[in-house]
């Protein structure tokens, strides 16, 4: 959750007015503020590019290289509250590279679509196979691959998880080397890489329900919940992870290292009615049993929570971030949920998709 003042939550639950600001950062000339007619942002931690933007800017907004352009132009969106006393508090929602613009005539406004900085990195593919020498730090390599594509970017390491990387070659896809595939650096050490609301890159551990809740979603007077619906699905759910360092790059094979859901209260426990549903994870970057164990536990925690989900709409809270844990009170016992996806717009309630099945640290053999 983005840091906010003590005024934030009381105002959210009682008296405030939503407000938003669009700052255009053109490739030529100085940044300027553009008037927004409408906007919508989706932030999804399960997507390669976490943040996407749809915005309509006022007619007459400057275009071309010194204005709104798809030739290297960006839009910074900040959203927050007008406290009705002349003061405001805004939270960054994303630094978006503009990939499309469409001016409607006459006086229909300027429609723009943008994507977070992960897409900048993903588009910057390797021109030739990329080989890194043995014993490089995984975190150092992630930062190098990011800043090669975005030299001005800041990278925040919010984790101490790291490991030495064996000699490794990636063929074409830069983002796949960083995160999102079994052969990625991030997955090998159990972390996630994403761009925050200011376009700065962040490296964090995979969120779990052991993380403290940052917000309460509740009903009744002063509550924020509008509507909630539950769903259950076994798609993508695995209660056993088998991790192997395959030695494809010449290193000594590692494993198999097996992590199971052994929580006696878990509906997906391996000795329960859910049965056994293994996932096999193989990566040339796993060089020790300890590293395989960390990666397998992160995959297990990320998988089990998909079994039970809660989708809800609520009073918009622009400070929330995918991966945040929230405490949900809907009349029964309070429940912890990890937010996977948030949609925020100028026209209605905030919608969130979550998962809630509790996973322990697993049992290892």
Which two three-digit tokens encode residue 272? Answer: 């329960």
Of 258, 225, 280, nearest in space to 364 by CA: 258
Residue 154 within any structural domain of the chain: yes
**Of the residues 167, 186, 205, the one at which a domain ends:** 205
Question: CA-to-CA distance for 339 and 43, rounded, in angstroms?
Answer: 10
Question: CA-to-CA distance for 200 and 93, rounded, in angstroms?
Answer: 12
Q: Are residues 50 and 75 in the same domain?
A: yes
Q: Are residues 341 and 225 in the same domain?
A: yes
Question: CA-to-CA distance for 329 and 87, rounded, in angstroms?
Answer: 31
- Could you tell me the CA-to-CA distances from 64 to 28, 37, 322 in Å, in that order? 9, 20, 34
| pLDDT given at position 55 | 94
Cβ atoms of residues 81 and 12 within 8 Å: yes
Stretch (H or E) spanning 330: none
Residue 170 within any structural domain of the chain: yes
Question: CA-to-CA distance for 319 and 237, rounded, in angstroms?
Answer: 29
Of 205, 281, 297, 207, nearest in space to 242 by CA: 281
Residue 197 within any structural domain of the chain: yes
Q: Are residues 37 and 158 in the same domain?
A: no
DSSP letters, 144-166, are: HHHHHH-TT--EEEE-----EEP
- Could you tell me the CA-to-CA distances from 344 to 81, 121, 180, 320 in Å, in that order? 14, 25, 25, 10
Cβ atoms of residues 177 and 136 within 8 Å: no
Q: What is the rounded end-to-end Cα distance, in angstroms, of the chain?
A: 36
Q: Are residues 128 and 103 in the same domain?
A: no
Q: Are residues 199 and 217 in the same domain?
A: no
Mean pLDDT per 10-residue segment, the chain (365 residues):
94 90 96 95 94 94 91 96 91 95 74 95 93 86 95 93 85 90 85 95 88 90 87 77 76 81 82 86 81 83 66 93 91 84 93 68 42
| pLDDT given at position 304 | 67
Residues found in the chain: 365
**Of the residues 93, 116, 139, the one at which a domain ends:** 116
Residues 6+ apart with CB under 8 A from 324: 1, 207, 214, 215, 338, 339
| pLDDT given at position 364 | 43
Residue 3 within any structural domain of the chain: no
DSSP letters, 178-227, are: HSSSTTSHHHHHTEEEEE-TTS-EEEEEPP-TTSPP-EEE--STT--EEE
Beta bridge partners of 85: none
Its domain, for residue 350, covers 213-365
Q: Are residues 101 and 134 in the same domain?
A: no
Q: Give rounded-to-5 percent helix, strand, coil for the chain.
A: 15, 40, 45
Q: Are residues 351 and 309 in the same domain?
A: yes
Residue 2 within any structural domain of the chain: no
Q: Are residues 70 and 160 in the same domain?
A: no
Whole-structure pTM over 0.75, yes or no?
Answer: yes
Q: Number of folded domains in the chain?
A: 3
| pLDDT given at position 359 | 39
Q: Are residues 263 and 172 in the same domain?
A: no
**Of the residues 171, 205, 239, the one at which a domain ends:** 205
């Amino acid at each position: 959750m983005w840091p906010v003042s003590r005024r934030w939550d009381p105002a959210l639950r009682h008296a405030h007015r939503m407000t938003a600001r669009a700052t255009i950062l053109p490739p030529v000339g100085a940044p300027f503020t553009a008037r927004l007619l409408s906007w919508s942002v989706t932030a999804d931690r399960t997507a390669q590019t976490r943040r996407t933007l749809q915005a309509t800017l006022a007619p007459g907004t400057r275009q071309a290289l010194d204005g709104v352009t798809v030739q290297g132009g960006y839009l910074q969106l900040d959203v927050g509250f007008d406290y009705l006393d002349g003061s405001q508090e805004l939270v960054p929602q994303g630094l978006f590279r503009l990939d499309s613009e469409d001016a409607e005539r006459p006086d229909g406004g300027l429609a723009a679509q943008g994507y977070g900085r992960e897409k900048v990195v993903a588009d910057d593919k390797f021109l030739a196979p990329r080989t890194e020498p043995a014993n490089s730090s995984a975190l150092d390599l992630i930062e190098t691959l990011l800043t090669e594509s975005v030299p001005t970017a800041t990278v925040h390491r919010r984790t101490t998880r790291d490991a030495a990387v064996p000699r490794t070659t990636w063929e074409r896809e830069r983002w796949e080397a960083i995160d999102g595939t079994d052969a990625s650096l991030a997955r090998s050490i159990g972390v996630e890489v994403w761009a925050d609301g200011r376009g700065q890159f962040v490296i964090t551990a995979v969120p779990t329900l052991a993380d403290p809740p940052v917000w309460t979603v509740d009903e009744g007077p002063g509550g924020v919940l509008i509507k909630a619906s539950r769903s259950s699905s076994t798609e993508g759910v695995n209660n056993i992870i088998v991790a192997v360092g395959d030695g494809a790059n010449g290193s000594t094979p590692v494993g198999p290292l097996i992590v199971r859901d052994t929580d006696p209260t878990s509906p997906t426990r391996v000795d329960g009615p859910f049965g056994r549903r293994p996932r096999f994870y193989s990566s040339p970057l796993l060089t020790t049993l300890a590293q395989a164990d960390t990666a397998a536990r992160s995959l297990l925690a990320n998988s089990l929570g998909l079994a039970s989900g809660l989708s809800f709409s609520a009073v918009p809270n622009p400070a929330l971030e995918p991966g945040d844990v929230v405490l949900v009170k809907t009349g029964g016992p309070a429940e912890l949920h990890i937010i996977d996806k948030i949609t925020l717009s100028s026209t209605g309630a905030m919608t969130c998709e979550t998962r809630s099945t509790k996973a322990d640290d697993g049992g290892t053999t």
